[in-house]
């Protein structure tokens, strides 16, 4: 039975509205991201709406209808995926928080349906829908039918996104899904350039209209929910009102079916105990006496200082253990993995770029050899300029250990240096193979190594004196905005400044590589390259040696900046 109390709906909508507003008052970063979205996102959606409107209006049939099929399908798929990726940051979509209250299924559904109107991406969707109605309004009846079809489609879109959300509730709450979504979003954001390049190539070749017509997407898409809506509109515009109403009816039935399924799944999730994320704890029947005895054994050996070999005395073990911890984190922590992937992406772009734009002289294959150290410079900078901030809350634990700060920095540096060296090797060898520039491999490698030393040294300075807070574990698109730092524009500018400083400090290395090449006196490399290498190593050691004591002295201040939530 459909039981809906309007008063409860009003208060549920009030809750969603408050959460929406509080998001802006409590999180400054959200205000910035919203402004960013309005400045860039709104024109993007407006542009899409305008382009699709023109396509509906002015492309010849059936190309305009094919566009409609494609647009509605993309919207449908996007709305299935987007709420999943933003689940943890959108409290309004989390039904589990409302389970404590005596709300009926219908009340929950209606409130969720209206709540989606407060999602910022919905504004973009409304623009796309307006374009559909305006684009197909060849007459008043067609306009009305299109409007009704779009409203039904809206119900379908919201319904399917909520259905997927409700069906995957336990999965969404699992740590593995959260981790995966952070990495997927990072990969998606990073791959935009490549996708854009590939799409432009695909669309740019041949006659676009002919290609669209020949593809006949509608043959397959008409049997999908968005295709049904598109078919209803298409048939109405052709004057086939019978077929149009039939498709509209099917579309309505589909919408009702989706809403019904949503209700059922929701009902099941309300009555099923929550198990997501639960950890099975096995209790062993160890006697208390045995426990105390074992504790005594565990703590019986007094020596606190390593009594091992030379490596342990020299502190190399601690450096190495910290480096291993860093590598494990780069692999296991989704935020750090996303950063690592973005650093690898820089390398990939440098490698693939010349092939995407073969005519560009800057991207010539000759440039490729020298781009290797540059790519590694950016990559290593990404991983090292906020190395203490990247520890996030765990930095407290690290600072509680009686470890010399020099060892902490060296351990972290070792981890990043190894990644940089591997990237450098791959990129140098690949670029040499592609551009037949084998004679340049050794100079490039040496320069790259010197550059790594300089960049990591600069990273130690910025990490200690300009640490940035990196927020813990967010999911969805907001995670990408906070993956590297989340401490406001000033700190962002400081990072940018540090990048500039690093480039300036790096200039002797650049000069040592390019000066002999430019003046055709390559024999100078015999001196300049070892000198540059020495410069990189000495710079790193000197800077790290100077900075390390400051890290110890500034520990509380660093913690205050990096661990505040």
Binding site for another protein (CB under 8 A): 175, 279, 281-284, 286, 288, 291-292, 294-308, 312, 317-318, 321, 325, 328-329, 332-333, 393-404, 552, 555-557, 559, 563
Element (H, E) at 499: helix 488-518
**Dihedral through CA 342, CA 346, CA 348, CA 351, nearest 10?**
180
* 284-312 residues labelled b (16+ CB within 10 A) or e (exposed): eeeeeeeeeeeeeeeeeeeeeeeeeeeee
CB of 186 to another protein, least distance (A): 17
**Those residues with Cβ within 8 angstroms of residue 172's Cβ, 6 or more apart along the chain or in another chain:** 84, 87, 165, 276
Residue 470 gets which letter from DSSP?
A: -
Residue 25 or 283 having the CB closest to another protein: 283
Q: Cβ-count burial of 279 within 10 angstroms (0-12 exposed, 13-18 middle, 19+ buried)?
A: exposed
Residue 371 or 482 having the CB closest to another protein: 482
Residue 28 or 328 having the CB closest to another protein: 328
Residue 530 or 549 having the CB closest to another protein: 549
**Residue 42 near residue 144 (C-beta atoms within 8 A):** no
CB of 175 to another protein, least distance (A): 6
Residue 405 or 443 having the CB closest to another protein: 405
CB of 554 to another protein, least distance (A): 10
Element (H, E) at 146: helix 140-167
Element (H, E) at 432: helix 405-435
**Residue 429 near residue 487 (C-beta atoms within 8 A):** no
Residue 274 or 557 having the CB closest to another protein: 557
CB of 296 to another protein, least distance (A): 6
**Residue 415 near residue 330 (C-beta atoms within 8 A):** yes
Residue 128 or 555 having the CB closest to another protein: 555
**Dihedral through CA 451, CA 453, CA 456, CA 460, nearest 10?**
-140
CB of 340 to another protein, least distance (A): 13
CB of 494 to another protein, least distance (A): 22
**Residue 277 near residue 177 (C-beta atoms within 8 A):** no
Residue with tokens 């910022």: 120
CB of 60 to another protein, least distance (A): 56
Residue 25 or 397 having the CB closest to another protein: 397
CB of 401 to another protein, least distance (A): 4
Residue 278 or 442 having the CB closest to another protein: 278
Give the rounded distance of the alpha carbon of 172 from its chain centre: 17
Residue 66 or 333 having the CB closest to another protein: 333
CB of 152 to another protein, least distance (A): 43
* 398-419 residues labelled b (16+ CB within 10 A) or e (exposed): bbeeebebbbbbbbbbbbbbeb
CB of 482 to another protein, least distance (A): 18
**Residue 84 near residue 168 (C-beta atoms within 8 A):** yes
Half-sphere exposure in the Cβ direction for 85 (13 Å, CA):
20
Residue 395 or 547 having the CB closest to another protein: 395
Residue 399 or 535 having the CB closest to another protein: 399
Q: Cβ-count burial of 498 within 10 angstroms (0-12 exposed, 13-18 middle, 19+ buried)?
A: buried
**Residue 548 near residue 405 (C-beta atoms within 8 A):** yes
Q: Cβ-count burial of 189 within 10 angstroms (0-12 exposed, 13-18 middle, 19+ buried)?
A: middle
CB of 400 to another protein, least distance (A): 5
CB of 312 to another protein, least distance (A): 7
Element (H, E) at 212: helix 208-215
Neighbours of 152 (CB within 10 A): 22
């Amino acid at each position: 039975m459909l039981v809906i109390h309007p008063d409860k709906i009003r208060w549920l909508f009030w809750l969603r509205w408050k959460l929406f507003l509080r998001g802006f008052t409590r999180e400054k970063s959200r205000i910035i991201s919203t402004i960013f979205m309005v400045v860039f996102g709104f024109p993007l959606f407006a542009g899409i709406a305008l382009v699709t409107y023109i396509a509906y209006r002015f492309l010849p049939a059936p190309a305009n209808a094919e566009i409609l099929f494609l647009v509605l399908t993309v919207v449908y798929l996007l709305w299935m995926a987007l709420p999943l990726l933003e689940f943890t940051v959108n409290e309004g979509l989390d039904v589990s928080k409302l389970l404590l209250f005596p709300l009926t299924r219908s009340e929950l559904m209606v409130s969720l349906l209206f709540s989606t109107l407060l999602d910022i991406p919905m504004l973009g969707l409304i623009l796309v829908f307006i374009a559909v109605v305006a684009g197909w309004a060849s007459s008043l009846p067609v306009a009305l039918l299109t409007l009704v079809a779009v409203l039904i489609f809206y119900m379908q879109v919201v319904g399917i996104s909520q259905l997927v959300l409700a069906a995957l509730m336990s999965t969404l709450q699992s740590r593995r899904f959260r981790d995966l979504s952070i990495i997927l979003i990072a990969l998606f954001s990073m791959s935009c350039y490549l996708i854009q390049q590939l799409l432009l190539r695909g669309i740019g070749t041949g006659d676009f209209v002919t290609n669209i017509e020949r593809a006949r997407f509608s043959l397959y898409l008409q049997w999908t929910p968005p295709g049904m809506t598109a078919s209803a509109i298409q048939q109405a515009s052709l004057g086939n009102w019978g077929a149009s109403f039939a498709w509209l009816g099917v579309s309505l039935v589909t919408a009702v079916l989706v809403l019904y399924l949503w209700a059922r799944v929701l009902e099941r999730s309300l009555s099923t105990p929550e198990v997501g994320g639960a950890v099975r704890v096995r209790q062993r029947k160890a006697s208390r006496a045995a426990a105390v005895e074992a504790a005594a054994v565990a703590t019986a050996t007094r020596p606190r200082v390593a009594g091992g070999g030379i490596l342990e005395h020299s502190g190399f073990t601690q450096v190495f253990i910290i480096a291993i911890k860093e590598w494990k984190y780069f692999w296991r922590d989704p935020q750090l993995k996303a950063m690592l992937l973005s650093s690898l992406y820089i390398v990939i772009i440098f490698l693939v770029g010349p092939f995407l734009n073969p005519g560009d002289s800057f991207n010539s294959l000759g440039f490729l050899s020298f781009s290797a150290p540059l790519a590694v410079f950016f990559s290593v900078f990404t991983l090292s300029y906020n190395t203490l901030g990247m520890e996030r809350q765990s930095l407290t634990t690290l600072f509680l250990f009686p470890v010399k700060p020099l060892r902490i920095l060296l351990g972290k540096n070792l981890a990043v240096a190894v990644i940089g060296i591997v990237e450098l090797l791959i990129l140098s060898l690949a670029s040499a193979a592609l551009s037949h520039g084998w004679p340049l491999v050794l100079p490039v490698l040496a320069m790259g190594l010197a550059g790594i030393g300089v960049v990591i040294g600069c990273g130690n300075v910025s990490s200690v004196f300009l640490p940035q807070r990196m927020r813990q574990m967010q999911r969805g698109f907001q995670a990408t905005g906070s993956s590297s730092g989340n401490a406001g524009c000033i700190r962002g500018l400081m990072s940018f400044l540090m990048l500039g400083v690093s480039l300036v400090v790096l200039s002797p290395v650049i000069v040592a590589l390019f000066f002999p090449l430019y003046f055709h006196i390559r024999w100078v490399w015999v001196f300049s390259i070892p000198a540059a290498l020495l410069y990189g190593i000495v710079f790193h050691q000197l800077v790290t040696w100077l900075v390390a004591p400051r890290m110890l002295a500034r520990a509380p201040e660093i913690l205050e900046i990096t661990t505040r939530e």
